[in-house]
């Protein structure tokens, strides 16, 4: 059975707790680490 490396909870610039994070940077790091799947999760306070 083949296993996959993944991260399904990554914050990016639209999240209030990760303003300095860039999608492109996450993709580069994921490729270097052999992570095959990532999902960007946006957290924002709506009032």
Does residue 1 lie within any of the structural domains? no
pTM for this model (two decimals)? 0.63
Provide the residue range defining the domain that includes 33.
6-40
Q: Mean of the pLDDT values across residues 18-33?
A: 84
Does residue 33 lie within any of the structural domains? yes
- Mean model confidence pLDDT for the chain: 79
Does residue 47 lie within any of the structural domains? no
Does residue 29 lie within any of the structural domains? yes
31 vs 40: which has the higher pLDDT: 31
The tens digit of pLDDT for each residue in 5-22 reads 878 877 777 676 666 778
Does residue 34 lie within any of the structural domains? yes
Q: Measured between alpha carbons, how far is 31 from 18 in angstroms, rounded to an integer?
A: 20
Least confident range from 8-12, 24-28, 33-37: namely: 8-12
Does residue 45 lie within any of the structural domains? no
Q: Are 44 and 36 in contact (CB under 8 A)?
A: no
Domain count, the chain: 1
Question: What is the Cα 39 distance to its own chain's centre?
Answer: 6
């Amino acid at each position: 059975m083949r296993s996959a490396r993944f991260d399904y909870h990554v914050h990016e610039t639209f999240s209030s707790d990760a303003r300095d994070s860039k999608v492109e940077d996450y993709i580069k790091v994921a490729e270097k680490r052999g992570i095959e799947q990532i999902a960007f999760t946006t957290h924002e306070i709506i009032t």
